[in-house]
A and B are shown apart, each in its own frame.
Chain A
Amino acid sequence: MSETKFTIEHQSIGEIKCLKIQGYLDAHTAPQLESALGNLVEEGKHKIIVNFSELDYISSAGLGVFMVYIEDVRETGGDIKLAEMKPKVFTVFDLLGFPMLFEIVENNQAAIAKFAN
């Protein structure tokens, strides 16, 4: 059933936290990501990479999750950087102009380098 259609893998890269998301991010699964990001922000982990390499789908419910926390993490000098998006997933971000607000980078290394600057 749908419970297996979205998973989140947690990784730590020094002080940076990486959430590798896999599957379908829609109105059904978005609360899982909201909860995972919320836990990081609550723990004071404000440098976050979300790796999209295995994400096959996103709807506005998924986009909305990033809007919930972006202000909080930036206020403390952190960020949520979005890495390794498949082209079709990127089209959803692009449709609404999300690249205006979010840094979307090629891979985790590029995101780590951005945090270092």
Chain B
Amino acid sequence: MVATLNTNNNQISATGNTAELEKIRDFVGAQAKLFGFGEIDAFQIALAVDEACSNLIRHSYHNDNNRQFIVSIEKNNSELIIQVMDNGDTFNPMSVPEPDMEEYFKKFKRGGLGVQIMRKVMDKIEYIPAQTSTALNVLSLTKRLV
């Protein structure tokens, strides 16, 4: 178990509390704008990261304030890569099947749309589960500036 996760300038740490989501969105949105994305793109990138973190806080950290995770930003040519790193249970969001939205609305289904938002907004999503008990799971969300 990692009690405190070290961060640098391109990272922030957050706890397993949904009150932290606003700070994460502010950080990601500001970084996306600095990188060159417009208002709507930056808004949606922050949204996709919010969805990833909301799922993590709820399903892996069970809203435990004492658990920490990191959101980091990498820039690679025209790509903005946001990584969410946690030490919770491994869970690959890409294993969630894409919902049929017509069916979803017809049956008034609930929940499960966060991953779909991530898919719609981001260009690439990769998940690398922790290989050892002290390593972190890494979810990478990439958006290209075109």
User: Which A residues contact B (CB, under 8 angstroms)?
Assistant: 1-2, 5, 24, 26-28, 57, 59-61, 63-64, 67-68, 70-71, 87-88, 91-92, 95-97, 100-101
Given contacts A27-B54, A96-B116, contact A88 B21 (CB under 8 A): no
Q: How far is the CB of B113 from chain A (nearest CB, A)?
A: 4
Q: Which 9 A-B pairs have the closest CB atoms?
A: A28-B18, A60-B113, A27-B54, A101-B105, A71-B108, A97-B101, A2-B19, A27-B18, A60-B114
Task: Identify which of A1, A70, A87 contacts B108 (C-beta below 8 A).
Answer: A70
User: Can you report 23 A-B residue pairs in the complex whose CB atoms are below 8 A from each other?
Assistant: A2-B19, A5-B22, A26-B18, A26-B54, A27-B58, A57-B43, A57-B47, A59-B21, A59-B50, A60-B51, A60-B117, A61-B114, A63-B113, A67-B108, A67-B110, A88-B40, A92-B47, A92-B117, A95-B117, A95-B120, A96-B113, A96-B116, A101-B105
Give chain B residues whose Cβ lies under 8 Å from the Cβ of A24: 22
A-facing residues in B37-95 (Cβ within 8 Å): 39-40, 43-44, 47, 50-51, 54, 57-58
B residues near A (Cβ < 8 Å) are 18-19, 21-22, 25, 39-40, 43-44, 47, 50-51, 54, 57-58, 101-102, 105, 108-111, 113-114, 116-117, 120-121
- Asked whether, in the complex, the Cβ of B40 is within 8 Å of the Cβ of A91, the reply is yes
Task: Known contacts A92-B47, A92-B117, A96-B101; decide if A59 and B111 are in contact (CB<8 Å).
Answer: no
Within 8 Å CB of B43, what residues of A?
A: 57, 88, 91
How far apart are the CA atoms of A64 and B117 in the complex, in Å?
13
Pair A57/B108 contact, Cβ less than 8 Å:
no
CA distance A2 to B54 in the complex (A): 15
